[in-house]
Amino acid sequence: MTRPHRTGDRPVAAAREDAHAWSPGTARARFREGLAGPTAGVAAGHTQANLIAVPADWAYDMLLFCQRNPKPCPVLDVTDAGSVTTVLAEGADLRTDLPRYRVWQDGELVDEPTDARAYWRDDLVSFLLGCSFTFEWALARAGVPIRHVEQGRNVPMYATGRACREAGRLRGPMVVSMRPVPPEHLRAAIRESSLLPAVHGGPVHCGDPAALGIADLDRPDFGDPVVLADGDIPVFWACGVTPQAAVMASRPPFAITHAPGQMFLTDARDEQYRLVGVD
């Protein structure tokens, strides 16, 4: 898979020390004004979402792709064709309220704007998918260090050797995000993330990256490399950038997505998606 261009935006939480305390509405307003950067650590306790918008004649294929691959593509909302709003965030505009977008034509990345209005089309159907940044608050509360946040970097993401189940015209590899976890915190990381299946749930692999077909942790396909501390175990979660890998592999005529790591902040609280009665 061709390695796409990556932006050099500084993580929002590193640039703005108070970003964890922002309301989702405040975060969206800042992004609407042009603030860009990865959103890990922003608006504590609120659900973050991946975005992919495709023409209506590709929407069924995308819905089927998500249904057949729920681990990397957990659907939180699907809009009507042409709609720029979502039930997940009152008053939000999907064209302006993400930090940065990606615009794709025939599977090629053609732009990374902070405002997608110039590219938006009346036939686009938007899919909002759960994001693993959501469960990082639960990991942190359980004492699990979040290395990419500590290091002021975007989370590293890798295209794996595991093919997603094909759906209509869509195919491609599963993408994973990686977080280094000390062995003594591994059980907590698995437990806490597994309680939130709507935002990818538990890991798909712990340990040797070669088992996923990943050759070099220092060369992520998306995001930034993260330094592992002595003894850290690389832990891999299914990632909502998977539809972007499908766009690159399947080459639909047009799509708009979020830039990797630069998510849509919803009004939903983490607790709304947390399983109960299984602690």
* 3-state secondary structure (DSSP) of residue 170: strand
Helices (H) and strands (E) in the chain, counts: 7, 11
Burial class (CB in 10 A: 0-12, 13-18, 19+), 17: exposed
- Closest among 183, 175, 193 to 239, alpha carbons compared: 175
Going from the N-terminus, what domains does the chain have, and what CATH number goes with each? Answer: 12-269 (3.30.2040.10)
For 165-212, write each residue's pLDDT tens digit.
Answer: 999 999 999 999 999 999 999 999 999 999 999 999 999 999 999 999
User: Which among 26, 60, 70 is positioned nearest to 252, based on CA atoms?
Assistant: 60
243 token code pair: 């539809």
Task: Check pLDDT > 80 for residue 2.
Answer: no
Q: What percent of the chain has pLDDT over 70?
A: 96
pLDDT in tens, 77-108: 999 999 999 999 999 999 999 999 999 999 99
* b (16+ CB within 10 A) / e for 43-56: beebbbbbbbbbbe
Burial (CB < 10 A; 0-12, 13-18, 19+), residue 72, is buried
Which pLDDT band, with edges at 50, 70 and 90, does 31 fall under? very high
Q: What is the pLDDT of residue 4?
A: 59
- DSSP codes joined into one string, 213-264: T---TTS-SBS---PPPTTPEEEEEE-TTHHHHHHHHH--SEEEEEPTT-PE
Q: In terms of Cα–Cα distance, which of 171, 174, 251 is closest to 211?
A: 174
Judged against a pLDDT cut of 90, whether residue 139 lies above it is answered with: yes
pLDDT at site 253: 98
The stretch 266-270 carries a mean pLDDT of 96
